[in-house]
Structure 1
């Protein structure tokens, strides 16, 4: 699996909001106007870089921006930057994205993605540069599969309101439908265990709900690709979820993802919420 696809999937696991939604008809509004979360990323025991997400809320509308810088061996082995944005509304039981962008620069590999949504379904996708010829072994993405899906940033960061206390494994019981502009996949969460965090420099204490995460490819992928097969078979992906103080939002405290290059990890280093 290429580095870009790895980071897109990691971002979809990465930042917040995997708590269960309220029932249909209830207003889904966070208890903060602005949430800022910063993370450190690592790969095979080496520092990979940092990632920062800023989420702003105005009534039922939301806007998010995430910015990351990654490198290995001071950029000698690998260097990349990525920025992604998403906006939409929080109506009913789930968020409804309206637009998503991704800009990736990995030196010789650069890519821009733009997606637009209409009533919960993907209505337009633009990728630059676009492949001249699609791989005939890729499973085609159907229009039906693009209904009621989330972009990676909304799927990963945006949480609806939950009354579950810290460490309650109820937040791990759900399936998240994602489309990243190329691939349609589900992230299937299930309860695994509780972890006590102890003292933490980021101000988060108490219990974390540890969720087992399964990557389930649906379309837009090549079934015999080694990376796809590896991610599909592993049951070692974990998401540690904690509530944002004084709000009803949940964010990941830690993400653990096995890869072909070693274990990937993302750890919360800072968290601020403005009521």
Structure 2
């Protein structure tokens, strides 16, 4: 297994590390009162060595949300893989803030291959899937059935964590949940649980408390059980994602994430985390 394959597997388990959830396990991924925007930048290290950078933009208002991320390998890893990727999700909200529909798209490209996914989701159910290349016919792969495409979140929407108590977004209940996620090729669960509160400070933007959640990865369908990366990550008990709030909303997003690998810890850290309140659109009057 290559380092890039391991990093992709780790990325699935802590996606919303990502760049690089029935209806929904989040109950409401984005609250209706949300009015905020985030611009963030991240660095990724493996065993202390820089291997990637990424950027992330999130925009939330009363009726819609938009999240877009991009990332690329750096340093020695770039020499071997030349990896880069983009992902984005946009969706509409009900009056109660529950995602009504979403469109998710992701592309990962290395020197060896390219992978493209596009999902259309309505009330948590997948209505359309477009994959390039198509799913292979490996007889070992656990098949994805229609049941696996119901009651899910796309990975990007799943990373927008709603605090059930707006007055206390760092409460343990914000962590304690299981997210049902489908990325077009893999259906998996992420079980989050409260661990602690940490103080964080980015080079630009946020300084304050972060909600630390443990993350356990359970593959459901679309995977090959004999693959080392899947078996390794499914056994991990030491993965963490730290969440910080988007100003003006009840939404928290990853500001830091970490997990072990056979060659050292992989860490994603925000170097910039700038969020602002966006004005509520005034109603038109005659």
**C-alpha contact (below 8 Å) 1:97/1:151 kept by paired residues:** no
**C-alpha contact (below 8 Å) 2:162/2:174 kept by paired residues:** no
Q: In the alignment, does 2:30 pair up with 1:30?
A: no
Shift, 1:157, TM fit: 3.8
The SS at the match of 1:76 is: helix
Unpaired runs of 5+ in structure 2? 278-286
Cross-structure match for 1:120: 124
Runs of 4 or more consecutive aligned structure 1 residues displaced over 4 Å after TM superposition? 20-24, 158-162
Find 2:236's aligned residue among 214, 234, 237.
234
Cross-structure match for 2:76: 73
- The count of aligned residue pairs is 269
For 2:77 and 2:234, how far apart are their aligned partners in 1? 31
Could you list the per-position Cα deviations for residues 184-230 of structure 1 after superposition, in whole angstroms to 9, with x for gaps in the alignment? 00110011122233x54333333222111000111111222211111
Alignment of 1:15-54 (within 5 A): 28-32=32-36, 34-54=37-57
RMSD: 2.8
For 1:107 and 1:252, how far apart are their aligned partners in 2? 29
The SS at the match of 1:223 is: coil
Q: In the alignment, does 2:113 pair up with 1:109?
A: yes
Q: In the alignment, does 2:187 pair up with 1:181?
A: no
For 1:146 and 1:22, how far apart are their aligned partners in 2? 17
Task: Report the TM-score when normalising by structure 1.
Answer: 0.86
For 1:162 and 1:178, how far apart are their aligned partners in 2? 23
Cross-structure match for 2:255: 253
Unpaired runs of 5+ in structure 1? none
**C-alpha contact (below 8 Å) 1:167/1:195 kept by paired residues:** no
Find 2:245's aligned residue among 238, 243, 246.
243
The SS at the match of 2:159 is: helix
Find 2:217's aligned residue among 215, 218, 232.
215
Could you list the per-position Cα deviations for residues 17-38 of structure 1 after superposition, in whole angstroms to 9, with x for gaps in the alignment? x9x95679x9634231x22121
For 1:228 and 1:263, how far apart are their aligned partners in 2? 17
